Amino acid sequence: MSETKTSKDVLEMIEKENVEIVDLRFMDFPGLWQHFSVPVREIEESTFEEGLGFDGSSIRGWQAINESDMLVKPVPETAFIDPFFAAKTLVMTCNICDPITGEDYSRDPRNIARKAANYLKNSGIGETSYFGPEAEFFIFDDIRFDQNEHEGYYHIDSVEGRWNTGRIEGPNLGYKPRYKEGYFPVPPADSQQDIRSEMVLTMEKIGIATEAQHHEVATGGQAEIDMRFSPLVEMADNLLKYKYVIKNVARKYNKTVTFMPKPLFNDNGSGMHVHISIWKEGQNLFAGDGYAGMSEMAMYAIGGLLKHAPAVLAFTNPTTNSYKRLVPGFEAPVNLAYSQRNRSAAVRIPMYSMSPKSKRIEFRCPDPSCNPYLAFSAMLMAAIDGIKNKIDPGDPLDKDIYDLPPEELAKVPQTPGSLRAVLEALETDHQFLLIGDVFTLDVIETWIDYKMTREVREIDLRPHPWEFALYYDI
């Protein structure tokens, strides 16, 4: 877990490290890290309480122009030295506040995550929720895309791409992972060991504990780096640093990274399986003597996740592209069931160890396009609702779901098939998110409106290249 720092510690760090610039970062509503920088003289002890002003109307999904002034308040324990800038730069994640009321801003995603963590404590159910996301991504060599009134295309390239086995490369060495066979060949088929190792070592230098790195299933440079679990807010902070490091190390190698869930047709997409547990007084409350070594509380948490999954997916799988991954046949968990070991279920209970400390549930639906503050908060609130209301998850499904006969499979509920569908599910099922004022009605309505207007309808308006293959000669 991160080292606790005070404002005095940060000021001492600035002096000791000869810091020249302080970079202040925060999360916009849809899920991109934002920043601005100030000279070190602008950071005093009072800055941590009083904050610094900026224009909130320019941030996606935030304030109107007539109420644009906002404050960033740096969080001391998030401080780290940036490993990429030329000038010595100290980075801090910030909370967002209203300059008139002084209150935390309700649409600040980090504020929502903080409220979710506090709600768990105040509920008496547990003290800490731990999250462990396994984010996958692609490392490409080239990406081109455009769409206008008379054309639309994308072009992806990777020296690892199986589609390049016949390309003249002077010489083409031929070591290119086959489609769906990128997990785990050694080099030279895996050409990205060094770049992933540099990503891992850079993360470790800025305080992110990692557990493993490897090539993933797809051709074309799919990868995964796993972080050690952390409390909800800290893990969301870390996931932003994780993406930042991965993208910038790739750029050093003149490569580009995407966390899009499904950039390649007909090969595996990038998911983000998320491990969850709830602890109190040093005890893992999900450990027990029930199914797969789980407690009754854990089973109710699973019940809540499965019941509310269609609405939760509006935050954990929040792009139109997400639903090109969530289709049968690519290890994607489209079936709302739970099981031990079974990776074709939406909720899996890992069986690597029977130690009480390691017992957890793994929600396999999410993908790394999400805003982690909102995604983790929605997952926790669904689990808490299951625990409070003793929602029975039903019987486990310890079979390969994709091999079930049609009459059995028809009885297994499935995830919605589009962003529009999960937003509609959120519209009808969001009361569990409003408990404790964690999500507000304004946040829910703004999220649905933003996604529908800026993404769903914009995709609806544009012809798809494959439509020409299907319909041009009609």
**Active-site residue list:** 55, 134, 136, 216, 224, 273, 343, 362, 364
Report how far residue 193's alpha carbon sits from residue 221's, in angstroms, rounded to the nearest whole number: 10
Amino acid identity at 291: Y
* Alpha-helix runs per DSSP H in 59-206: 109-123, 193-205
Determine the 3-state secondary structure of 359 from DSSP.
Answer: coil
CA distance 291 to 101: 49
Residue type, 257: V
| Inter-axis angle of helices 193-205 and 232-252, nearest 10 | 130
d(CA 172, CA 174): 6
- Round to whole Å and give the CA distance between 272 and 369: 9
Fill in the amino acid letter for 369.
Answer: S
Provide the β-strand partners of residue 157: 142
Strands (DSSP E) found in 307-464: 338-340, 347-349, 361-363
Phi, psi of 407 (to 5 degrees): -70, -35
Alpha-carbon span 379 to 309, nearest angstrom: 8
DSSP secondary structure, 313-357, as one string: HHHHS-STTHHHHSSTTSS---B--EEES-TTSSEEE--S---GG
- The residue among 93, 81, 75 whose CA lies nearest residue 202 is 81
